[in-house]
Amino acid sequence: MRELDPANGSIGPESSAANTGARRGALGFVTDVTLCIGCKACEVACKQWNDLPMDDLGLTGHSYDNTNDLGATTWRHVAFVEQFGQGRGSQSMSNAPGSNWLMLSDVCKHCVNAGCLEACPTGAIIRTEFDTVVIQQDICNGCGYCLPACPFGVPALSQTDGKAHKCTLCYDRLKDGLEPACAKACPTDSIQFGPIAELMPRARKRVTTLRERGVESAYIYGDRAVGGTGGISGLNAFFVLIDAPEVYNLPNMPELPQRKTMASYLTTIGTAVACGVATYLTLRNR
């Protein structure tokens, strides 16, 4: 068994060295598209460990993707993007990763500030000791508030039990010191698991290497240090990408919906106060 020691990840919050935005002991994934061979071992390993049924969508005609999206019974999903005739090709002999057939294994981002968790009215969604975000199935009542609250569209309601489901980052395995099933299975280490404090510097180094090898477009999606996390403060499951987020069906500027509501929140309070004051004044003047 590959052992992990959460204590290794002990760094202070907002550690200046790594500047990851991660909390002490946070664990997560980095998924590097330049190493992905699109084999979907992660999907199967996830379904096997978590005992998830087949989706059975039939032949979709979308390249080699027949599971379509993350959902209640698909917690890892490999997207295939065929981009032929768009410049990038593997004909240059440049030793530069990246071709015109992009593959990305998507997963719940386990946001540092998670919209789903904040929106959950029942307290079913928790932040674990590993800084991952987990839906407690014994508490979830299937209200579905978490669905629109996720900027990535990750949680989904199951058609069989009506509850919300998503990746748990193999909470049960983490508790026993085991690596999550998807990362363990991944043959090419496209999915790496570990303390964010280690993963983030490794990913930044990888991006530097990729750029040196000619992949100018490489970047980290979900790195707080490069900004643009819209109140999410970073992703515990982040990505090394080589094209725009939208190409991979990821939002370019993800934002917590709560942020948008803050203004109306304050307006509401302000209006209430103003109404109160006005009423008071009106009544007093009477």
Residue closer to another protein (CB basis): 177 or 252: 177
What is the H or E stretch that residue 205 is in? helix 196-212
List the structure tokens of 65: 């993707």
**Rounded to the nearest whole angstrom, what is the least distance from the CB of residue 285 to another protein in the complex?**
29
Residue with tokens 């987990």: 134
Find residue 102's DSSP bridge partners: 81
Considering only 4, 164, 181, 207, the residue that binds another protein (CB under 8 A) is 181
Beta bridge partners of 194: 28
Tell me how far, at minimum, the Cβ of 233 lies from another protein, in Å.
11
> Binding to another protein by residue 48, rule CB under 8 A?
yes
Considering only residues 228 to 247 of the shown chain, the ones binding another protein according to CB under 8 A are: none
Query: 94 to 123, contacts with another protein by CB under 8 A?
Result: 94-97, 99-101, 103, 113-114, 117-118, 120, 123
Candidate ranges 23-31, 154-162, 167-175, 271-279; the one touching another protein (CB under 8 A): 167-175
- Our finding on whether 38 is near another protein (CB under 8 A) is yes
The answer for 194, left when phi > 0, alpha when psi is -120 to 50, beta otherwise, is: left
Cα→Cα distances 158→55, 139, 164, 165, Å: 11, 15, 6, 7
15 binds another protein (CB under 8 A): no
Contact positions with another protein (CB under 8 A) in 77-96: 82, 84-85, 90-96
Determine the Cα–Cα distance for residues 30 and 20; give it in Å rounded to an integer. Answer: 13
